[in-house]
Amino acid sequence: MPLPKLSEEQRAENLKKAAEARHARAALREKIKNGEVSLQQVLESDDPAASRMPVRALIESLPGYGKAKAAKVMDELGISAKRRVQGLGARQREHLLELLSK
């Protein structure tokens, strides 16, 4: 299925929206890193920036976690590397909180 034909104005608007979404996710990751927002708050939030964030990025934002530890946690809990926060099941959220809130 081919991509829809967009006018230059529509393309520019879509690019602007995408950039705003990336900036919102980056700001949220920074708040998590600084301890201003907890893991539980992010998992319970209905904020689009939080729900569209990849779980891997969320874990890596936590103090003391990098790519290797995040990958280990996700593998341990059986969470796909492509999974976003909004796609987590209730049990996965519980286990994630248990494991990372120690």
51-100 pLDDT per residue, tens: 999 999 999 999 999 999 999 999 999 999 999 999 999 999 999 999 98
Q: pLDDT (tens digit, 9 = 90+) per residue, 32-51? A: 999 999 999 999 999 999 99
pLDDT of residue 1: 79
What's the half-sphere exposure (Cβ side, CA atoms, 13 Å) at 33?
11
**Cα Rg of the chain, angstroms:** 16
pLDDT of residue 84: 95
Domains and CATH numbers, the chain: 15-100 (1.10.8.50)
> Do 72 and 15 form a contact (C-beta atoms < 8 A)?
no
* CA nearest to 60, candidates 39, 78, 91: 39
